[in-house]
Every structure is written in structure tokens, then in C-alpha cells.
């Protein structure tokens, strides 16, 4: 019995800043970002958008484009590191919005939950749902990966920002891709990238005024959340390489493969925090799996070699195209890479039915998972409604001043008027038992 992804839909921020504009303002050589990292555009959320909005938009598109009956959905599992509440999961918000649009109580019997492990949370949600469908092949599940990748202004991660979501229907006899049951994992608890609570004292918040009306309700030190992570770019890259290498060779051992495992993969789908991350990370595995030996001094030469460049062109480039135009989607990045690869093959009318895609997932903290899937005969039929690159071409270019005002959360009005999408309607500020509650509405 085959289990996998039957349908895909996506939503990304409809505002973007050209990377060349950011490079100019930050006094960075544009070629370093464009030709060195493969970055062309950086998407960023508008005032009316958050991770719930992106998830709900993606799922609404999935339901409408594929005539999905939500009453037959047993799970909506969300991978994210952009949660808006320490208790209530994004999946709970999304299920309520689906009932708001498609019918009350449609999802009363549906299990909803969030998975958090940096950028691999969506893959964790997918694996869990695949296992569920193997046990219950008559049922269907939905996986959503939704995130906003935001970094401090002027930081080393700023140019990799992005925002959006991917929604996937998981079921038996899928139209797009069926996954093997063999998965390999490599895990180690590290601090390469994380989002800790920061502490501020009462006096830092209130200043010299020690008697505001609400002062007595505050603890001596207040924990605050900040969207931007604490990270070490070089160390994170090393963790990415170490975990991926461990999972890759663990998977090869389980599959009992002779010769390079990657030779059996038509394309390689990876987590791409920036477009060229995959090609920068795989040179070591490329050598190790071909001759069994390497050292760091050889890797730059390997990366420039004709053999490796051919490998990159055939196996990796299709996944990079969308990443260049969108930026990092955290949990959604690896699924956007899959969607990009499929869209490229669809444009070229490539015959990929029956071929195998290899997946190398990574999440900081840190964990990698390696798995593979076979492209199914009806994949083109399922992809017809997606129109990935046509949608990305319609993104609205914003100027640098608009970008910075959005980043600092200074704007109160959206840059573009919402249309045929979800939006934040309001956040409760007055009713004591509902302070902070977020309400959303659909805009036709």
C-alpha cells in the first residue's frame, strides 16, 4: 500500500524586497548574495498577516482547489516555530477558521496539534501523519508548515528572511509522491539557533515611574518573546552538515545500498534557508559516498569540480528556483523545495513518474531526517492548480523604508489591501478574560 502526498497548496507573503536593494542599504556586494547565495527576493509579511493567516490561506486553497471534504479529515498537524501562543496551537486557530468558512462543526472529530523543532517540525508532522495513514488507510490527514523567518535588522541572517506556508493532503494511493517507510534520524541537543525568552526588569519596562496602575501586577523580572533568533551562522552550518551526514549514511545503511545513494535519486529535496545552502552543504557527502575519504582542504576544490557542478545542476537546481524568489520559510522550506522541483518538471513536461526523490531535512537544535519517495503517475494532474511561479511573479515590490517600518512593527495599515485571503481582524485588549485573543476574518 502506498502512502504519501496527494495534493499541495501554498501561500507566501505577497510583499518582497529585492535583495539588490537590501545589499545596497547594508553596504554588501549584491553579487555575494545573488550569485554567492542564490538570493533574488526576500518576502515579508504585511500588517494583516501572521503564521495563522499563512496556514489558513494555504489550507483554504488546498480545500477549494481539490474539493476536499473536511468532514473526512482526521488530523490537521502543523509544523511551525512561529507560534503566537504558548498554549493554544496554530492548528487550533486554523481549524476554527475552516469551520468559520466551510461550515460549523466540520472538524469536531479532527485531531489538531503543532510540532515544534525549528525547521524540521513540518517533516515531523508529516512522518507522524504518514504512520497514522498506514494504520488507517481509509482516513486522510492534512499537514501544514507555516512560518515567518525574521532576523534583526542589519544582522547576518536578515537577507534570508521569508514568510509563508505549505499545506499537504496525506492519504493512501496519493497522486503526487509515495514515501518509503524507512527513515533515518540524527539528533544532538545543541545551541546553533534558538529563540529563548529574554528577561527585562520592572524598572527597564516602567522607567522611573514606580507606581503605574499595572506595576504591581508585574514580576520582578519579565520574560518576553522576540521573533528574532539567537544564532551562530557558521556553527549552525556545521551542525547542519554533521546531522545531515549522520542521517544520510544511517539511511544508506538501513537501505543496504551499494555505491553512492544519491545516484538513485532523481532530485534531492533539502531544507534551504537560502537557495544555495544545499549545494554548499553536500560536497562532503558527495565525496564520502563516492570514494569514502575526504578532508576539509579538499571540499572547496570538490565544489568547483565538473563532476560536482553536474551533480548540482541535475539534482539540486530545480529545488532552488522558488527559494531564490521567496526566502526562508523555516518549516515550509523543504516543502517549497519539493513544490519548486515539481513545478520545474511540470514546465519542462519532464517524465519523472516512477523516479525517486531523496529528502534531507534539518532543524536547528539539532536534528536531521533522511527519507525518500517515489513520484506517482498522476502527479501532473494534482499540480495543475498550484501555479507556483505565476503566483510568485505577481508579488508586490516594496521600497526599503516600507520594509523597515514593517519590520519594526510601526505600521498600522496594510501595504496592500487584502483580497481573497484571511486577515487579522483584531486582537482583544479590553475584555480581561480574552486579552490577547486573536480574531480573523475572510476577505473575498
Give the tens place of pLDDT for each residue, 354-385: 999 999 999 999 999 999 999 999 999 999 99
Backbone phi, psi, residue 285, to 5°: -65, -40
C-beta of residue 251 within 8 angstroms of C-beta of residue 261? yes
Tens digits of residue pLDDT in 23-69: 999 999 999 999 999 999 999 999 999 999 999 999 999 999 999 99
How many CB atoms are located within 10 Å of the residue 107 CB?
21
User: What is the average per-residue pLDDT within 391-397?
Assistant: 98
C-beta of residue 342 within 8 angstroms of C-beta of residue 383? yes
Do 422 and 280 belong together in one domain?
yes
Q: Which of 335, 287, 290, 289 is nearest to 126 (CA)?
A: 335
Do 198 and 188 belong together in one domain?
no
Tens digits of residue pLDDT in 111-147: 999 999 999 999 999 999 999 999 999 999 999 999 9
Q: Which three cell numbers stand for residue 438?
A: 486573536
- Tell me what pLDDT residue 218 has: 64
Do 132 and 147 belong together in one domain?
yes
Do 219 and 278 belong together in one domain?
no
Do 274 and 206 belong together in one domain?
no
pLDDT over 60 (residue 214): no
Query: How many domains does one find in the chain?
Result: 2
- Tell me what pLDDT residue 61 has: 98
Do 32 and 105 belong together in one domain?
yes
pLDDT over 60 (residue 295): no
User: What is the average per-residue pLDDT within 103-108?
Assistant: 96
pLDDT over 80 (residue 202): no
Q: Which three cell numbers stand for residue 366?
A: 539539532
* CA separation for the pair 357, 266 (Å, rounded): 6
User: What is the average per-residue pLDDT within 318-337?
Assistant: 98
Lowest-pLDDT choice from 26-30, 73-77, 200-204: 200-204
- Tell me what pLDDT residue 297 has: 64
DSSP state string for 67-85: T--GGGEEEEEEE-S--S-
User: What is the average per-residue pLDDT within 385-389?
Assistant: 96
| Domain termination site, one of 208, 224, 240 | 224
Do 297 and 216 belong together in one domain?
no
Do 156 and 305 belong together in one domain?
yes
Q: Which of 78, 182, 173, 172 is nearest to 124 (CA)?
A: 78
Lowest-pLDDT choice from 27-36, 98-107, 119-128, 205-214: 205-214
What percentage of the chain reaches a pLDDT higher than 70?
A: 96
β-pair type (73-79, 140-149): parallel
| Domain termination site, one of 207, 224, 241 | 224
* CA separation for the pair 408, 392 (Å, rounded): 25
Do 212 and 239 belong together in one domain?
no
Return the higher-pLDDT residue of 292 and 266.
266
194 vs 188, 245, 314, CA distance in Å?
14, 22, 34
* Average pLDDT in the chain: 94
- pTM of the entire structure? 0.96
- Tell me what pLDDT residue 300 has: 84
Domain that holds residue 220: 194-224
User: How far apart are the two ends of the chain, measured CA to CA in Å?
Assistant: 40
- Tell me what pLDDT residue 420 has: 97
Tens digits of residue pLDDT in 299-311: 888 889 999 999 9
What percentage of the chain reaches a pLDDT higher than 90?
A: 89
Do 220 and 366 belong together in one domain?
no
Q: What is the CATH number of the domain that holds 177?
A: 3.40.47.10
* CA separation for the pair 178, 3 (Å, rounded): 5
Do 184 and 201 belong together in one domain?
no
pLDDT over 60 (residue 333): yes
C-beta of residue 235 within 8 angstroms of C-beta of residue 326? no
Do 121 and 169 belong together in one domain?
yes
- Tell me what pLDDT residue 290 has: 84
Confidence of residue 211 (pLDDT cuts 50, 70, 90): low
User: What is the average per-residue pLDDT within 398-403?
Assistant: 98
pLDDT over 90 (residue 404): yes
Q: What angle do CA 236, 239, 243 make, to 5 degrees?
A: 145
* CA separation for the pair 83, 192 (Å, rounded): 20
Amino acid at each position: 500500500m502506498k502512502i504519501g502526498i496527494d495534493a499541495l497548496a501554498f501561500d507566501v507573503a505577497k510583499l518582497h524586497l529585492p535583495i539588490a536593494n537590501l545589499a545596497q542599504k547594508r553596504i554588501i556586494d549584491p553579487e555575494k548574495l545573488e550569485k554567492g547565495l542564490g538570493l533574488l527576493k526576500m518576502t515579508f509579511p504585511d500588517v494583516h498577516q501572521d503564521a495563522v493567516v499563512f496556514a489558513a490561506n494555504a489550507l483554504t486553497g488546498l480545500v477549494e482547489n481539490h474539493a476536499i471534504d473536511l468532514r473526512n479529515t482526521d488530523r490537521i498537524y502543523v509544523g511551525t516555530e512561529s507560534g503566537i501562543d504558548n498554549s493554544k496551537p496554530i492548528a487550533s486557530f486554523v481549524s476554527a477558521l475552516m469551520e468559520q468558512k466551510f461550515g460549523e462543526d466540520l472538524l469536531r472529530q479532527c485531531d489538531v496539534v503543532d510540532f515544534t523543532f525549528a525547521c524540521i517540525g513540518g517533516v515531523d508532522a508529516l512522518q507522524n501523519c504518514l504512520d497514522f495513514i498506514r494504520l488507517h488507510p481509509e482516513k486522510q490527514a492534512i499537514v501544514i508548515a507555516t512560518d515567518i523567518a525574521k532576523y534583526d535588522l542589519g544582522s547576518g541572517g536578515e537577507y534570508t528572511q521569508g514568510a509563508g506556508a505549505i499545506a499537504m493532503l496525506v492519504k493512501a494511493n496519493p497522486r503526487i509522491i509515495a514515501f518509503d517507510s524507512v527513515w533515518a534520524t540524527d539528533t544532538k541537543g545543541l545551541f546553533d539557533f534558538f529563540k529563548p525568552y529574554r528577561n527585562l526588569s520592572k524598572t527597564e519596562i516602567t522607567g522611573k515611574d514606580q507606581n503605574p496602575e499595572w506595576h504591581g501586577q508585574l514580576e520582578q523580572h519579565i520574560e518576553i518573546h522576540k521573533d528574532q533568533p539567537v544564532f551562530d551562522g557558521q556553527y549552525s552550518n556545521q551542525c547542519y552538515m554533521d546531522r545531515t551526514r549522520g542521517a544520510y549514511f544511517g539511511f544508506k545503511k538501513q537501505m543496504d545500498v551499494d555505491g553512492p545513494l544519491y545516484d538513485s535519486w532523481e532530485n534531492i529535496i533539502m531544507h534551504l534557508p537560502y537557495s544555495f545552502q544545499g549545494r554548499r552543504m553536500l560536497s562532503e557527502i558527495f565525496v564520502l559516498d563516492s570514494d569514502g575519504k575526504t578532508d576539509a582542504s579538499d571540499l572547496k576544490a570538490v565544489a568547483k569540480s565538473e563532476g560536482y557542478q553536474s551533480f548540482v545542476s541535475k539534482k539540486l537546481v530545480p529545488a532552488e528556483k522558488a527559494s531564490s524568489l521567496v526566502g526562508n520559510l523555516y518549516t515550509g522550506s523543504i516543502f517549497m523545495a519539493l513544490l519548486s522541483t515539481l513545478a520545474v518538471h511540470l514546465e519542462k513536461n519532464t517524465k519523472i513518474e516512477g523516479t525517486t526523490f531523496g529528502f534531507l531535512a534539518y532543524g536547528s537544535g539539532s536534528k536531521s531526517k533522511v527519507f525518500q519517495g517515489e513520484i506517482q503517475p498522476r502527479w501532473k494532474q494534482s499540480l495543475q492548480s498550484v501555479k507556483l511561479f505565476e503566483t510568485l511573479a505577481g508579488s508586490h515590490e516594496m521600497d526599503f523604508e516600507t520594509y523597515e517600518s514593517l519590520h519594526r512593527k510601526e505600521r498600522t495599515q496594510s501595504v496592500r489591501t487584502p483580497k481573497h485571503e484571511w486577515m487579522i481582524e483584531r486582537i482583544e485588549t479590553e475584555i480581561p478574560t480574552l486579552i490577547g485573543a486573536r480574531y480573523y476574518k475572510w476577505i473575498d
